[in-house]
Structure 1
Amino acid sequence: MRSMRGRLVAILLVSTGAVWLCAIAWIYWSTQAQIEQVLDARLREAAGMVNSLLTDNRIEVAVAASEATELPAGFGSGVSYARQLSCQIWSLSGDLVSRSEGAPAGELSPASDGFSETVVDGERWRVYAIANEALGVRVLVGDSVAVRDRLVADMIKGLLLPAALLVPVMALLIWLSVRQGLLPLRDLARSLRQRRAEDLRPLDHAGSPTELIPPLEALNGLFRRVEAARQRERDFTTFAAHELKTPLAGLKTQAQIALASDDRTVQSAALAQIVHGVDRTGRLVRQLLDLASVEAAEPPRQVEACDLAALTRQTVEELAAKAAQQGVAIAIAADDEAGRAAGRAEVEPFFFTLALRNVLENAVLHSPLGGTVLCSLRQTEGCAAVVIEDEGPGMDPAEIGRATERFFRGRRKAASGSGLGLSIAQLALGRTGWSLTIENRGPGLRVTLSAEPSHG
């Protein structure tokens, strides 16, 4: 059932119906037991009165049975229940002395005293017997079990009929109550439908029902995340447009210079600048795509241990040739005990490789001609770490805290940098539970990629 209202109404109707049926069963059995007790008391009372009248000689034995049913014993629906009784008087020798009108000819019960149930002429009877030894007779007073059952059924019908008439009323009240109780949901839906697409203001849950507060808080959290994502997209678009505008303008200028000049030297220099600009623009575009890819990717649910040394060596080999073209060497520190201990670590290969590549490229860009970028595996506080050290100018201490901001380039920036490398690295490492640490090391910068303690 998809309707919450219908489901609630059905649950309440079924639950109430089950309780009602249990109450009906309890009323039936308790009422039947109480009526049985009352009817048995009437039998005992009628038999005792007949026996008392016989003992006191206030009634003749021959007419005692016929007059027994005239005793005042009203019960139920305005009909005298005493008139439904049958009375027999038998001698102790086994002869029928007297019986009331409508009483069966056969003996109601062979018992001499107390209650018993018998079948006479195919009909079940409930009988109470009293033996009068002084008069030599037995007084038997009984009633038909069928009459009793009918009387019990009439009593229960009288109790249950009003209850049955209330069932539709109860169902209507339940439906109205559920409808009224779900009005806050309808109000919330109407409020959301009336909102503009760009309106991501938090929903006010002051005065809202307690049950609505968790979904309202969840919606507000979603609005905040969507607004943050939209802001990132706006910033991304703004910064990308700004950063691409400059190299594209430079490419156009160099192309115009090459076309306008007949000097081979000028043309070669312009073409070299074009190649450099294309490389820079290509790296910027790749970084922008990497940034978008990392932001859209979900953190891995389960990270398995992988060969950290192999991933590091593979990344270094991929960048070594390009770094050599810029006059910079990338070296991996000699294998030692600390490096071997950090050889395997829990990390997602894609995110780690992406972060390491961007950090290495950043180190190469800031290294002087003939410089070396050193990459080493270490153990930091019991956790695996990869440390990249360059021989560049480093960063101003006041700027280190902003080094991972997007498109941030400090005063000691590289000519071909874009300010995205460290930002991508930090974001990628965050997806796999690692962290990025930046610090000056005298001449140069030290960047550490390390696993969080829970992942080491």
Structure 2
Amino acid sequence: MSLTRKLTILTTSTVLFITLIAAGWGFFVSDNQLEELFDAELAQSTRIVQGLVEHLASTQSEDQLSQVLAKTLELPDDIYGTEEEEGEEILPGGAGHRYERKIAFEVWTPDKIPVLDTLKANDTHSVEPGFAWQEVAGFQWRTFTLKDQATGYWIRTAQREDVRDELSQEIAMGNVLPFLVVLPLLAIAMALSIQFGFQPLRKLEKPVRNMAPENIHPLDESLAPKEVVGMVQAVNGLLRRLDQALERERRFSADAAHELRTPLAALRLNLEKACEDNPEQYRDLIQSVDRMVHLVEQMLLLSRVDAGTDFSPEYHNLSAILEQSIADVVPLALKKDIEPVLEDEAKEALVSCNVALINTLMRTLLANAIQYSPEKTVVTTHLEPSSDGYHISVCDQGPGIPPEERERALSRFVRLDQRQGGGAGLGLAIARRIAELHDGHLTLSDRPDQQHGLCVNIWLPARPRKRFRQT
């Protein structure tokens, strides 16, 4: 798992957990505070009725008081309807609110004789001052009871529990809902922020990913965040040591190959002179020396290609280069009765390249194709325009290379079949390096006609990174 994804998951999970705890705590606190507020509202309603009773009791009899309270506090069915009826909460014309049926009032004389009873609880024996819960007709009611000291009347106001819960939960959920709405936006913002925060590391990653062994250079420490400056400095030290080691290896290969050329040439001359009378006696030895000379030449070419010296490109006709390369390998093809064929769809393909290198690339690929092809077969070279450049394919009818072995076959000093050919496993590696020097690439694939064999595919850009003069 990537560090970005891991941080995103951990941070989002932590924020989600904390936000849910905060939302739950907020809901709990809001619900409790609203319960307190409803109790205060219940007590206030009871005191309002107390004031009304105290005012009426001084001027009216108990019967008159009962009639006035009933007319004021009892709710008529023709306006409010029954409990089972559904409809809008606010009545038409602003006549009232259906929740008024979930509020009830009770008034008793000092002797606890009912004067008003909209709750219809018939619980005179349980009249006690203060807050309480009471079950009536299958519903829980929250009640507040007080005794008026001036008149001796008992007054109780009741609220049904379901309306209290409904209102408190709606209000509490209204406080919590913003948390839940903002949470996904917060998670997205954190993910984007983490992505943005890792941008400097991605800027450091790109040069390392694109760094070639022949062009090793230190990373720009100014792009590194403070937390990874030490690691970047350590990587730069490693890159410097690696570059020095590769340079020593290149120098050793070049020097060794250069020093071996003269003694090998002398050895071959001496062998030729020694076998003038009996050529068959030293034929195998001469072939071994020839293979050593070929290896030395390839090592020298590889060292020059790796160094990238003296390879300034100019515009040339790629079709003409391919024709010349095929002509160069015709003698080798005739020995095995193999026919080299050029299929040119471009006719005149101007590319910026080094003629010697492209010729070396093509001769290497054609020689490999001829070497591994059976006698009396065809080696086809195909040239066609392709995406701002040109695509070249060299296809043989040999045994081919399994897909899982193709990347290894492009490595240096790798020969998959030691029984065939006499090379050192450098040909494909040199060809790929030449293609890379021209900003192209080389790959291996099956033949497009599904026959036995192998196709080596090269793509070369038509325009170089810099402009060169045309020839």
TM-score when normalising by structure 1: 0.45
TM-score when normalising by structure 2: 0.44
| Higher RCO (C-alpha under 8 Å, 6+ residues apart) | 2
